[in-house]
Amino acid sequence: MAVGPERFGVVAIDCAKARSKWMLADFYGTVLLPPAVVEHRRSDLAVAVSQLCQARDEHRLQEVIVCVEMTGAYHKPVQRAFRQAGFETRLAHPFASNHYRLAQHGDIKTNDHDLAGIFRTAVNGFGLIESPGELGPIERYASASVIRGRAGLFPSRHQSDQVDRGGNLSRFRNARLRRAFVLAADNMLKCNTYWREKARDGQSRGVDPRDIRCRIAGKLAGTVFQMMMGRRLYRHPSRLDRGYVMDKLLTYHREHHTPPHVIVGDLERVVLESMTLCRGVQRRIRQLGALSLFYTRLARSNSAGAARSNRRRRQNGQSRAARHHRCDPLNRNGKKPPPGPATGTR
């Protein structure tokens, strides 16, 4: 819904372990509900939701979003309560809210200042919608590297001037998503010959086995992105099209000078086995069928031409023999004259 900034409300919530502090402001930052503390109890959260609904109607807000700062798992009850009430809930990363707090308040950190940082985080577009599931809709990912970043499939690194040191895997990740990709990588190492050979090659070069698994998991993330985002048949480099078999069969017959009727028989059997193939392969089959028909007609025409040539040569040979006998009436060569045409008389 497209609304004006004066009809757009932002709820900022700074969560702690047992209680949270929240406030309501419009898009310009005008505070509509001052900061208040709410305990993490069902009854208190219901009262906070009721106060928000009342303020929304009082100030005639047409759109309200609730931005909750992520704090381990402490923010989940608050997020769940406002989401069940029908409000659009978003998450603010502590790094983002801290960045916007430092811009105005520096090293003065209070709950109210944190609320101001969370509010500016939401207004500037860093209030993130939590995706359902571990991965969420694939349309929200610009590339496969974003999926690898969400899963944390890369080592941490600190580089400054001449200092460059690495560490363990990144701590900022979706743990369940990383676990799923690493489990898939383990399955590839057990069941796939290609990845087993890659792992042996890496181990021979002294690569850490954990690093090998992360690399395989990263490759699988790229494959998942291409399969789900491409909206078309996934063409993996190791995948061969089904028409490749027919091309290979035809090449074999050409190299071995196979008789045309054998080629036609093999192609017909392939066609019968390929009736359920996709349209592209069926088109290729029709092309090969036309090619086989051409070869059949060519072979027939060649055989008919050869038969005519043989018959013509035999007739020419008989004619030459008859002319030679007429030119040698004494038959000095001692050969019998060829039989002449039947005249019907003795």
Does 30 have pLDDT greater than 70?
yes
3-class DSSP state for residue 304?
helix
The number of beta carbons lying within 10 Å of the beta carbon of residue 84 is 11
Identify whether the C-beta of residue 283 lies closer than 8 Å to the C-beta of residue 252: no
Identify whether the C-beta of residue 62 lies closer than 8 Å to the C-beta of residue 7: yes
Q: Residue 271 CA to chain centroid, in angstroms?
A: 31
What is the reported pLDDT for 344? Answer: 46
Identify whether the C-beta of residue 131 lies closer than 8 Å to the C-beta of residue 141: no
Does 276 have pLDDT greater than 80?
no
Rg over CA atoms, the chain: 42
- What gap in Å lies between CA 23 and CA 51, rounded to an integer? 11
Q: Can you list the positions of beta strands (E) in 98-234?
A: 155-160, 163-169
Which CATH number is 5-130 given? Answer: 3.30.420.10
The pTM is what?
Answer: 0.51
- pLDDT, average across residues 81-90: 93
Q: Are strands 63-69 and 88-92 parallel, antiparallel or unpaired?
A: parallel
Q: Where are the domains of the chain?
A: 5-130, 140-229, 243-302
| Least confident range of 71-75, 218-222, 334-338 | 334-338
* E strand or H helix at 37: strand 31-39
Give per-residue pLDDT as tens, 53-79.
Answer: 999 999 999 999 999 998 888 999 999
Give per-residue pLDDT as tens, 109-126.
Answer: 899 999 999 999 999 988
